[in-house]
Amino acid sequence: MDKIFLSALSVECIVGIWEWERRVKQTVIIDIEMQADIRKAAATDRIEDTIDYKKVSKRLLSFVGESQFHLVETLTEEIAKVIVTEFGVQWVKVRLNKQGAIRGARDVGIQIERSAADY
């Protein structure tokens, strides 16, 4: 399975369950893997024949940056739904890291895999 990946996309957003987190944006770091058959685009050399990862990154920067979810679970799920439903991706893996959220731990977050059949 060919994949297009986008690693360490850093976005500031409102995410958290504590009162201060509803007012102060925090940084989440997002890793994406998308199933993609890259052979047609490789043969035609046309961006129209593949998933434009720039468009995906711009959409995620906007969606996540404007989001105000409480749980990282909800934010991660909604990111996967945007990618599958808006970009015609058949399978996606999303890993969301809320770095620094837990004292003594560098990383904490969620990793999910979703397919078009899930929506």
Ligand X SMILES: Nc1nc2c(c(=O)[nH]1)N=C([C@H](O)[C@@H](O)CO)CN2
Judged by CB under 6 A, which of 21, 31, 49, 78 binds ligand X?
Answer: 21
Question: Annotated catalytic, 98?
Answer: yes
Q: Check binding of 20 to ligand X (CB under 6 A).
A: no
CA–CA separation, 12 and 62 (whole Å): 10
Q: Does 71 bind ligand X (CB under 6 A)?
A: yes
Neighbours of 48 (CB within 10 A): 8
**Which residue from 2, 3, 7, 17 is in contact with ligand X, where contact means CB under 6 A?**
17
Q: Which of residues 16, 91, 95, 97 is near ligand X by CB under 6 A?
A: 16
Per this entry, what is the length of the chain? 119
List residues near ligand X by CB under 6 A: 16-18, 21, 71-73, 98, 101
